[in-house]
Each structure stands twice: as structure tokens, then as C-alpha cells.
Structure 1
Amino acid sequence: MKRLLASMALLFAISSAHASMIWRAVAVDSAQLDGLTKNEELLARTLLATKGDQAINLDKAWHGIHFLLNGTAWKVTSTAGQAVLGGREFGADMGYGPPRVVSKEDVVKVAKALSMITSKELSARYSPKIMEEEDIYPSSTWQQEGPQALKFLLDGYAELLAFYQRAAKNGSMPFRVEFDIR
């Protein structure tokens, strides 16, 4: 496990100039998921090496998007709200808990729910002051960056929506983890 975490940390450290907590997800089919749950090194390689339409990296936008969808820092309060922090745990802790996977059935529901939320609705939910009070990561960004931070979240949301729509269409199941890179 130490080797797995060290490999993941090294790869992300190389690709990131600043220390940060990031969110990454990969869409896999049932057979792939079964193999990943049994092999931690394969899980790490798949998570880190998968590119293109099967992968998404929300970088630091993950927690802000979760807040815009749920109105809370950590609770999941809606079907669309499952997109970032939903799903069931599997495997060993990879930094901030074990990976989580969203079932095929829930992927379809989440994709549909996300598609019904407009950028205008999300913008209305954006409150830099409340987000900093709630310690939404990265907490010092929201008031300082203002409209630019909102644009960052809306761009991330568009990527998240497209990712879930592709996964629903392909019958895939996203699994995700958060990493803290020092």
C-alpha cells in the first residue's frame, strides 16, 4: 500500500506545481471494476493512466461543485449531488478514504439530474462568503477570486456533466478518489 500511495503521489507531484487536493474519476465497466477491487496496483495504474473520455480530473473544483449541487460541505442531499461525493466505498484508503464507485443505475440517474441543472442555477447558489465559512476547499479562494472562481466551478461542472453523460451512455461506472499532494 505504501508503494501504491508513493507512486500516486509522485505522479501527481510531477504534474502539479503546487500542493493541492484533487479529485479524479475514471469510468469502467463491471468486469474492469471487479479486477480493480482485487488489485491495488492495477487500480492505481488505471486511475492515473486512463485519459480521454473515460477520465476526468476536477482538480480543486471538486468541493466547490459539490457545494453548489448540495448546499453543504460534505452531505449528499440530491441525486445530482451524488456526482462528486456519492457512491459506495471499495478497496483500501488511498489518501482521503477508499475509492468510491457509482452503480450503473445511479450513473444514469445522476446524469439525468445533472442535465436538468443550469449554469444560471449554479451561479445563484455561488456564495463566496458562505463557502469560506463552510471551509469549502480551497477555502481562501472564493472571496479572493470571486467571478473567476465561479467560472472555474462552472467549467468543471460542464466537464462533470459530460463525463456522467458518457458513462451513462456507455453503461460505465465511475470510480473516484481524492488525493492530497504535498
Structure 2
Amino acid sequence: MGMVFAARRLSGAELATVLADPDTVGTLFQGGPDELDLDKAWHGLHYLVTGTTYEIRGDAGPAIVGGEPIGPDLGMGPARLLMPDAVRTVAAGLDAVDDATLRARFDPEAMSEAEIYPHIWDDGDDEFDGYLLPYFTALRDFYHDAAASGDAVLLAVT
């Protein structure tokens, strides 16, 4: 199956529950309208947004690998929590990244050399238009909606 990414919006009440009992984090990823599934595109998107393999740079940098660890190990470590202020900052940062900038950063050879998961970048430009760009749009929309609602966000790679 591989390493897949999920994010979940948390209302104020859900955030209070998670902060009071971090063990509940694992029960929250059930699919549904408050979740985002980036499948295996997460690492490629992080690379395109930040220009790094795992470093967090810029306002959009925490979108995928940011946040504070919370709760039990979900497969690739614990989930990470972004509080509402951080969600608003990430949303603004993602809004500032346009498709042309991402396309300019898409370098299959460099991504393969940097071992960007899922190691499919030698397959060609279709990986940008048919895979990464639609997931980036979903990521940007997810954070925009979460910020507009004042939600926190849980991030997990499982």
C-alpha cells in the first residue's frame, strides 16, 4: 500500500477533545467531508511547495509535514496538529503559490535524485498534470475551507 497522507479538519469542539485526550486522534481518520486524502502525492507536493525533501520553508511549508506531534503512532509516527492560526497562515501561503510556479519547480530528474516518494518521477510530465496538480488544488482548497471555518488540522502519513 505504501505511505499515504491524510489530513482532517477539526472544529473547536473536536480540537478540545483531542487536546484533552490525544489518544482519540487515531479514531478521527475515518474518511468523510472533513478529510483530505493525498494518497502518495504528499512528498512530491511538499517538494514542489518548499523545494526541499522534508524541511519546512515559507508560510505554506507546514501544509504536509508541519505541526506538533500528537497522539499514538499511526503507522509513520504520530499525527501532527496545526492550530487555527497556523492553518490560516498555511492557507495564505498556498494561495500565493500558483500552478506556473509549481510547474517550473517540477524536475523529474532532481526529484528522483532526491528520492522523493513515491519514486515515479522518471515517468514524465504526465506525473505533474495528471497527478500532482490535481492533488495540489485539493490541498489548497482544503486549507482554504479550514481557515475560513477557523478549524485546526490534523496531518498523518500512514
Paired position in structure 2 for 1:61: 41
Kept in 1: contact 2:8–2:155 (CA 8 A): yes
- TM-score, normalised to structure 1, is 0.81
Q: Is 2:77 the counterpart of 1:89?
A: no
Aligned AA for 2:121?
A: W
Distance 2:22 2:112 in 1: 38
Say which of 120, 125, 136 aligns to 1:147: 125
Q: Is 2:138 the counterpart of 1:159?
A: yes
Within-5 A mapping of 1:8-157? 19-37=1-19, 38=21, 40=23, 42-48=24-30, 50-52=31-33, 54-139=34-119, 141-144=120-123, 146-151=124-129, 152-157=131-136
Distance 2:22 2:58 in 1: 32
Shift of 1:39: 5.4
Q: Percent identity?
A: 31
Secondary structure at 2:73 match in 1? coil
Distance 1:90 1:43 in 2: 8
Kept in 1: contact 2:25–2:79 (CA 8 A): no
Shift of 1:113: 1.2
- Larger C-alpha radius of gyration, 1 or 2? 1
- TM-score, normalised to structure 2, is 0.93
In proportion to residue count, which structure has more helix?
1
Distance 2:12 2:117 in 1: 32
Shift of 1:115: 0.6
Distance 1:131 1:56 in 2: 24
Unaligned runs of 5+ in 1: 1-18
Say which of 163, 168, 177 aligns to 2:147: 168
Distance 1:96 1:43 in 2: 14
